[in-house]
A = this chain, B = another copy of it.
Amino acid sequence: EESESKSFPMKKLAIVMVGLPARGKTHIARYIARYLNWVGRATRVFNVGNYRREILGASQPAEFFDPSNQEGRRARWELAIKCLDDLILWLKHQHGQVGIYDATNSTKERRKYVKERLETESIRVLFLESVCEDKSIIEHNIMETKLRMPDYQNMDPERAVEDFQARIANYERANETIDDDEMVSYIKIINVGRTIMLHQLTGYLQGKLVSYLMNMHTLSRSIYLTRHGESEYNAEERLGGDPDLTEKGKRFAIKLAQYIHEEFTAQGKELPLIWTSQLRRSRHTVQFIPTHNVCWRALNEINAGVCEGKTLEEVKQQFPKLYEARLKDKLHFRYPGGESYVDVIQRLEPVMLEVERMREPMLIVSHNAVIRAIYGFLIGKRQDECPNLEVPLHVVIKLTPRAYGCEETRIELNVEDNETVDGSRLDSKLNTRCTKPPKQVFF
């Protein structure tokens, strides 16, 4: 009937990183890519340094980066172009939506070239500069990331730092921070985000990016994820509802409290922030941990709509078509009257923003679908990978974000069917005997 295109012809977006070495460009680029992929935008980082290492080999001395070294300059220029070509190819012909060009781009001339190339291809351009003059931060950055690079594989650390600082000095001479006269949209992150400048920046996605960058910090702290203890519905393979914990589930709650005690109190550390859903099985799982917990509605389990309270077998029998549809596309499948994984991810967005913002360690106790989505976010999975991540009951996943990724440990707190767990010295928050019942606050 109508002539219509199936999707809004969104212009592709290139984010062009700018900044001297060891200013966190790669860190920021990956942080953004992780967020965008999780909200469903196909995003990829194109790192010129990797091209150099792959094509020329890792061990180039600082002299290679000396601007007066003609050959070095030409080689670096060619690599930068090859990398940009690949970014354009990906955006234009390989379904990419956002390409992040991760290179120093520290001169006006270079940025002008990049901007013109991208605009010729009808790609929107956003520059993202990290500025940091604090010497101690830069040194810390070098220690934390650069010494682990293949470039310095077999070098003595002191010499490596020196070499890297010489490399920075080579860039510093020609460095030009982005200026309004370049007529570009830019975000400037100053002093690790204490100040952020936005110039000529509009749009929905851009606004979201700024929100995420505002809340980014580089402190390392662990995030502990776990599903609630076994509930009466788990035991029967029933969906949703608001059931209580089984005896086994309660034993998990005790073991969890003991584990948290050992990780924190026993080591003289303050207890972590504790976030649960508003459902009983999740709140009861933290009942033996003697501190407040925040109960988020957004952490409630995926709403199974018409299938709530039914066993998988019943769903299969009563709604065979739904059962099939779900197997085919678990990400987009929405329970009638309920939610899809995409819906869950959307309502989790504000929670994840808060997770990024927090500087304290935290324990999140939630549900299968929700923990999958959160875990996927933290370890950098695409949206479509989230529904199939492995998140068993009675396992704590300890994640520690690092500069370029996330360290993971899984702690199995197995509670055997016939095991008895000694919780006699633990007071339950649910128990009125408890003299000073820690409060639960709801969100």
Contact = CB atoms under 8 A, between A and B. Distances in A.
Contact of A441 (B5, B337, B430, B441): B5
A265 interface: no
B430 A1 contact: yes
Interface string A198-212: 111111101110111
A166 interface: no
A440 B9 CA distance: 11
Nearest to A347: B346
A395 interface: no
Interface stretch (A142-150, A250-258, A349-357): A349-357
A214 interface: yes
Number of copies: 2
Given A194-B200, A337-B336, A440 B357 contact: no
Nearest to A210: B210
A439 B353 contact: no
Contact of A202 (B283, B295, B357): B357
A389 to B, nearest CB: 25
A443 interface: yes
A195 interface: yes
A113 interface: no
B208 A211 contact: yes
Q: Main secondary structure on chain A at its contact with chain B?
A: mixed
A429 B7 contact: no
Contacts of A208: 207, 211
Contacts of A357: 202-203
A413 to B, nearest CB: 23
Given A215-B203, A337-B305, A442-B8, A283 B2 contact: yes
A135 interface: no
Most buried by B among A7, A294, A295, A441: A441
A437 interface: yes
A437 B295 CA distance: 53
19 contacts: A1-B430, A2-B283, A2-B429, A4-B295, A4-B439, A5-B440, A6-B442, A8-B442, A194-B199, A195-B197, A196-B201, A197-B198, A198-B198, A198-B214, A202-B214, A207-B211, A210-B211, A305-B337, A337-B338
Given A7-B443, A207-B207, 5 more contacts: A5-B439, A5-B442, A207-B211, A207-B212, A211-B211
The 3 closest A-B pairs by CB, nearest first: A207-B211, A337-B337, A8-B443
Interface of A: 1-9, 180, 194-204, 206-208, 210-212, 214-215, 283, 294-295, 305-306, 336-338, 350, 353-354, 357, 429-430, 437, 439-443
